Amino acid sequence: MFGTISEEIEVPVPANEAWKIYSTIQLANIIVKEHPNIVHKVDILEGDGGVGSVLKVTFPPGTPLLTSHIEKFIVVDEEKRVKIAQVVEGGLLDLGFILYKVKFEVIEKDKETCITKTTIEYEVKEEEAANASFVSIQPFVAIMNLVAKRLTQGKDGRSYA
């Protein structure tokens, strides 16, 4: 069984400013600091946040069925402002998933506004199809809102990260 879910939000900052967060490991650091209920810890196992980087993502204690997973950045496209992470070990792969990818996109709407979009792409074995219910875009919507808030906080609306 194959599926995709996506959500997007409009952010009143230039796309290149939003991309500065989404394109780097800074995103993981912000999530751990500001949303420890989503991600407890991130360890960089290989790389510097670019293509080929491997991270161990540890979920908060008490997260049902999931303790951690290892993900690899398979795309970091500066021109298109697209970053894709694929789970390569643990996590949902232990629950019958064959594929689990998360794509972040920063799309320029105009000079002062962008759209951040997150897409989850997954495939789960037919005999484990009920586990597709574990896929949720909501943590990523919370992350996009957190980044948007961080980018726009400031007296003049120009206090970018």
Reduced to 3 states (helix: H, G, I; strand: E, B; else coil), residue 28 is helix
Structure tokens at 34: 């500001």
Cα(43)–Cα(131) distance, integer angstroms: 27
Cα(93)–Cα(87) distance, integer angstroms: 8
- Known catalytic residues? 83
Q: Give the DSSP H or E segment for 140.
A: helix 138-152
Cα(123)–Cα(97) distance, integer angstroms: 6
